[in-house]
Chains A and B, each alone.
Chain A
Amino acid sequence: MAAVIIIVIKGLILAVLLLTAFGVLTLTERKVLGRFQFRPGPNRVGPGGSFQFLADGLKLMLKEEIIPNGADRFVFLLAPTISLVAALFAFAVIPWGPPIHLFGQTIPMEIGGPNVGILFLFAITSLGVYGLILGGWSSQNKYSLLGGLRSSAQIISYELAMGLSVVGVLIAAGSADLNNIVSAQTNLWFIVPQIIGFLIYVVCMVAETNRAPFDLPEAENELVAGYHTEYTGMKFAMFFMAEYINMVTVSSLATTLFLGGWHGPWLPPEIWFIIKVAAFMFFFIWLRATLPRLRYDRLMAFGWKVLLPVALANALATAVWVSVVAR
């Protein structure tokens, strides 16, 4: 029973942390983008605008829920729920620190560490695409439908290269368990031998989360807002939360696979984990401030014609290294 309570508390803490990260990230993004563009960003609510995200959250909470005419009500409500639940759930297998000892119990710093950890994470994130397709379809708006379709086609295209880009890491670690992958990087982070895999992963992770320069689903000048055009209030916010939590999750996975996870000198491991993830988040915002949006045909061609074969070649090259050269 005590074990169940610990797990539930840990789960609640993790979920609250992820939702807080979402709030802080929206604010940080607006502030940092403001700095990039020589303007202050939000600065009215609270000291230096630091309560802006609470005000935004409250506002969205109190907004009217509009379900457009002809929409499929059940699917319309299901779509944002799937997005948010999948985003929250995917983080379950990521270790954010070494196990701690508390009240005579060993508590692992993750929800669960299955043998197939990384595959589990990919399986759950691949379910997030349902939110987009269903949201686009159930709204009964042609732009939503087209936006949902585009983004899901984009996500599945880059999912392939993403899946193959981590194969080199699995070869090097000899395991798909994220804890083993972290401990395999005690001496050398995998970013060094797997630099190509890392670069492919980073490109794919930006595309997977539909962020700039891959933010075609939200190409507001041609699609209004894409799959969530018809969503109002908290249901819109749920898609938004899912996007930011997914950013945290893919960044955490990048940290775990390539940057040694929570390993680091002097500071506590959890702090190191947060620092590394935060660096990725800043990178996301930086990209948005710097790069223009890609054209759709180029985006698709890049995923299939460049990233996929290079990821495959990287996997095979790593295998050659392990089986022939490093013998």
Chain B
Amino acid sequence: MVSTVVFWLAAAVAIVGAGGVLLAKHPVHSALSLVLNLAALGVLFLLLHAEFLAVVEILVYAGAVMVLFLFVVTLLMAGTKTPRDEGRFRLAYQYLLAGLFGLILFVLVAHALVGADWMSSLAATNAGGSFGSIAAFGTALFTKYLLPFELTAVVLLVAVIGVIFLGREHGATRK
């Protein structure tokens, strides 16, 4: 009962946050709306008994990814005035492309929703006990999903190299 109310509240906040990302005039406000959205998603994870994921959602997305976003946005747009749309940074056919990718995403999500096995997923989350706890998550990660876990390290390694490549100083690349 309480969890239904919390679900609707969190869902509403998530949608408001998502709308804010698109509609806010200043990028800093967009980023803040995204933080709101991510916090609401954390609550939704919690309602699904995915306790560890809920906390990691806040810790990694709200605490690290969005901090990076804010770093970039506040430093590139240090003024509080809304930056003017000068048109020169627009991608070619951006509306068309956005519409196309939006449609693809919609079809994929719709397909997943229609094809989902709701009953067994519900049974899993209602199983209670240790489902979604840090130990249950770890057991799955370090046995069943061991290969994806080790591959994450490779993905992160690529990211690290990418960061250094992007952040290199011109003329200082060869030493």
Contacts and interface: CB of A to CB of B under 8 A. Distances in A.
Question: Is B a genuine binding partner of A?
Answer: yes
Interface of A: 70-72, 74-75, 78, 114-116, 119-120, 122-124, 126-127, 129-130, 133-134, 136-138, 140, 142, 145, 149, 152, 156, 176
Contacts of A126: 58-59, 62-64, 67
Interface in B60-82: 62-64, 67, 70-71, 74-75, 78-81
Interface of B: 26, 28-29, 32, 35, 51-52, 55-56, 58-59, 62-64, 67, 70-71, 74-75, 78-81, 133-134
B63 A140 contact: no
24 contacts: A70-B79, A72-B26, A75-B80, A115-B51, A119-B55, A119-B59, A123-B59, A123-B62, A123-B63, A126-B59, A126-B63, A126-B67, A127-B63, A130-B35, A130-B70, A133-B74, A134-B74, A136-B74, A137-B74, A137-B78, A137-B80, A138-B80, A140-B79, A149-B74
B71 A133 contact: yes
Contact of B70 (A122, A133, A176): A133
Contacts of A127: 58, 62-63
A141 to B, nearest CB: 10
A24 to B, nearest CB: 30
A99 B74 CA distance: 46
Contacts, number: 80
A138 B133 CA distance: 39
A270 B79 CA distance: 49
Given A71-B80, A129-B63, A138-B80, 5 more contacts: A70-B80, A75-B29, A115-B51, A119-B59, A126-B62
Contact of A116 (B55, B62, B71): B55
A133 B52 CA distance: 27
A170 B26 CA distance: 42
A145 B75 CA distance: 8
A159 to B, nearest CB: 8
Contacts of A156: 64, 67
A120 B71 CA distance: 24
Contacts of A140: 79-80
Contacts of A138: 80
Given A123-B63, A126-B63, A156-B64, A116 B79 contact: no
A120 B28 contact: no
A149 B75 contact: yes
A7 to B, nearest CB: 13
A126 B58 CA distance: 9
B67 to A, nearest CB: 6
Contact of B55 (A123, A136, A142): A123
A179 to B, nearest CB: 14
Nearest to A122: B59
